[in-house]
């Protein structure tokens, strides 16, 4: 192995990369486009959710009616934004049709006699019609509606309790209550109507921003897709141009060529990653700059990806076939390896891919280390697994590379 030959090959590759427009796109344009697009969509402040609510109710003369509840809903705001956009419908079938066609998210029907039941202390019913064809939207809308009625019901219960206690205090003789006081009765009745009180307390956890998450996603894309594609198609182009044949006949060995090719590819990818990191900081004010261990994880992931790309190229010996196989592998892994979307929301059958496939494991370890600031000891077993996988894939790539070189000779 000759350092001078390796240096020359690296220099040649970098000069050729400078002249390749597609390579320049992946190095300079793609990092900026990816971070700008996803950062612009998910990185800003998300306004409160607004729910389109349809209501059907009857005019009643009771002290408290459905119209009062609707009026409260229309005035519920969060951060200055109205949570409910209320539309009134003349009858139930019109509202159900609006839900079915997607014009509203939910229909609330207050049956006749609702106000009389509530005002007299009896139980009243409300019918809620949801469209469950979109499970995610259903969960959000039903959560907002049920949360509103839960708080409203709690408020009504407290008011009824206070009215009942005031009547007891004014009209029930003190000697008839025995050893109990009004305060004792209040505690017992409150326990009957509201047996559990959930008190919410905030914990400031390690929560990365959307920008930070997508910076690591971009890093994952680079060592998954760009690295694999560059080394595979680049080596085959050298074979087609006769470069590798000439190197094999020169004092520089095929090993020098392989090492130089992999190092030049890693340099290009590193430059691309640094550009994306700096751009995120300049535009969005947030970024992720990996620690020493983080860069080691990136290097090991790149070695695995380069080895896999080289093995595919040497096995197919066709640029078109190599590009097709790399795309076939990379595109599903963008999602299944937890690169574009968090691994926590993947289906159960896909989570082992994100957890144990070396590139998914590398990205998971990088995020735990840099976004959640987990200790090195926690991610070290996964780093070892990535290193072993990278070494094993490198051996396979070397065997196929030697076979291709011998065929050239």
Residue 80, pLDDT score: 82
Residue 260, pLDDT score: 83
- The per-residue pLDDT for range 257-282, each reduced to its tens digit, is 778 888 888 888 898 899 889 988 98
77, part of any domain: yes
Do 33 and 60 belong together in one domain? Answer: no
Asked whether residue 190 carries a pLDDT value surpassing 60, the answer given is: yes
**How many distinct structural domains can be found in the chain?**
2
Do 115 and 233 belong together in one domain? Answer: no
The average pLDDT across 368-384 equals 92
Do 377 and 255 belong together in one domain? Answer: yes
Do 221 and 99 belong together in one domain? Answer: no
Asked whether residue 99 carries a pLDDT value surpassing 80, the answer given is: yes
Residue 402, pLDDT score: 80
Higher pLDDT: 41 or 71? It is 71
Residue 202, pLDDT score: 61
The average pLDDT across 224-239 equals 77
Select, from the ranges 140-154, 289-303, 328-342, the one with the highest average predicted confidence (pLDDT): 289-303
Strand 81-82 relative to strand 127-130: parallel, antiparallel, unpaired?
A: unpaired
Handedness of CA 310, 27, 342, 133 (dihedral sign): negative
C-alpha 141/C-alpha 245 separation (Å) is 65
Do 260 and 394 belong together in one domain? Answer: yes
Half-sphere exposure of 22 (CA within 13 A, CB side): 5
Of the three residues 164, 193, 222, the one that is the final residue of a domain is 193
Residue 378, pLDDT score: 92
Do 319 and 397 belong together in one domain? Answer: yes
158, part of any domain: yes
Per cent of the chain over pLDDT 90 is: 27
Q: What is the CA radius of gyration of the chain?
A: 32
Task: Dig out the tokens for 23 from the structure.
Answer: 């390579």
Higher pLDDT: 94 or 184? It is 94
Residue 110, pLDDT score: 95
How far apart are the two ends of the chain, measured CA to CA in Å? 19
Q: How confident is the model at residue 119 (pLDDT cuts 50, 70, 90)?
A: confident
26, part of any domain: yes
Residue 130, pLDDT score: 93
Do 35 and 66 belong together in one domain? Answer: no
199, part of any domain: no
C-alpha 43/C-alpha 36 separation (Å) is 9
- The DSSP-derived string for 257-300 is HHHHHHHHHHHHHHHHHHHHHHHHHHHHS------HHHHHHHHH
Of the three residues 139, 163, 193, the one that is the final residue of a domain is 193
Residue 406, pLDDT score: 74
- The per-residue pLDDT for range 145-188, each reduced to its tens digit, is 999 998 888 877 777 777 676 766 676 666 666 666 767 766 77
- DSSP summary character for residue 242: T
Asked whether residue 24 carries a pLDDT value surpassing 90, the answer given is: no
C-alpha 231/C-alpha 299 separation (Å) is 14
Asked whether residue 201 carries a pLDDT value surpassing 90, the answer given is: no
Q: Which domain holds residue 65?
A: 51-193
The average pLDDT across 119-134 equals 87
The Cβ of residue 137 has, within 10 Å, a number of other Cβ atoms equal to 15
Q: How confident is the model at residue 39 (pLDDT cuts 50, 70, 90)?
A: confident
Q: How confident is the model at residue 377 (pLDDT cuts 50, 70, 90)?
A: very high
**Residue 74, domain CATH:** 3.40.1710
Residue 29, pLDDT score: 79
C-alpha 349/C-alpha 172 separation (Å) is 65
- DSSP summary character for residue 104: -
Do 62 and 100 belong together in one domain? Answer: yes
Task: Dig out the tokens for 97 from the structure.
Answer: 């049709």
329, part of any domain: yes
Do 175 and 323 belong together in one domain? Answer: no
């Amino acid at each position: 192995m000759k350092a001078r030959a390796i240096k020359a090959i690296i220099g040649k590759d970098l000069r050729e990369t400078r002249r390749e427009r597609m390579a320049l796109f992946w190095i300079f344009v793609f990092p900026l486009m990816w971070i700008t697009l996803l950062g612009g969509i998910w990185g800003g402040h998300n306004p409160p959710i607004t729910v389109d609510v349809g209501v059907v109710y009857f005019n009643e003369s009771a002290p408290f009616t459905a119209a009062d509840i609707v009026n409260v809903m229309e005035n519920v705001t969060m951060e200055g934004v109205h949570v409910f956009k209320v539309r009134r419908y003349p009858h139930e079938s019109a509202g159900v049709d609006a839900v079915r066609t997607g014009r509203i998210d939910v229909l609330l029907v207050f049956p006749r006699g609702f106000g009389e039941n509530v005002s007299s202390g009896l139980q009243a019913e409300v019918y809620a019609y949801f469209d469950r064809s979109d499970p995610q939207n259903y969960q959000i809308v039903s959560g907002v509606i049920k949360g509103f009625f839960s708080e409203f019901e709690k408020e009504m219960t407290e008011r009824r309790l206070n009215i009942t206690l005031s009547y007891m205090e004014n009209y029930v003789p003190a000697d008839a209550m025995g050893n109990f006081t009004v305060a004792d009765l209040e505690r017992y009745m409150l326990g009957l109507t509201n047996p559990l009180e959930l008190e919410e307390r905030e914990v400031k956890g390690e929560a990365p921003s959307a920008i930070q998450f997508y910076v690591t996603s971009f890093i994952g894309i680079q060592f998954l897709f760009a690295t694999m594609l560059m080394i595979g198609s680049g080596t085959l182009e050298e074979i087609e141009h006769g470069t590798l044949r000439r190197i094999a006949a020169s004092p520089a060995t095929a090993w020098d060529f392989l090492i130089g090719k992999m190092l030049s590819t890693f340099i290009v990818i590193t430059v691309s990653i640094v550009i994306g990191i700096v751009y995120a900081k300049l535009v969005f004010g947030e970024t992720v700059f990996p620690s020493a261990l983080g860069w080691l994880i990136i290097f090991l992931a790149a070695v695995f990806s380069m080895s896999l790309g080289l093995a595919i190229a040497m096995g197919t010996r066709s640029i078109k076939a190599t590009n097709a196989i790399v795309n076939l592998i990379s595109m599903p892994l963008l999602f299944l390896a937890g690169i574009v979307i968090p691994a926590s929301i993947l289906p159960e059958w896909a989570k082992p891919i994100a957890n144990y496939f070396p590139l998914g494991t590398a990205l998971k370890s990088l995020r735990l280390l840099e976004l959640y600031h987990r200790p090195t000891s926690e991610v070290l077993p996964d780093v070892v697994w990535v290193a072993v996988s990278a070494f094993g894939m490198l051996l396979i790539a070397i065997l196929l590379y030697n076979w291709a070189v011998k065929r050239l000779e």
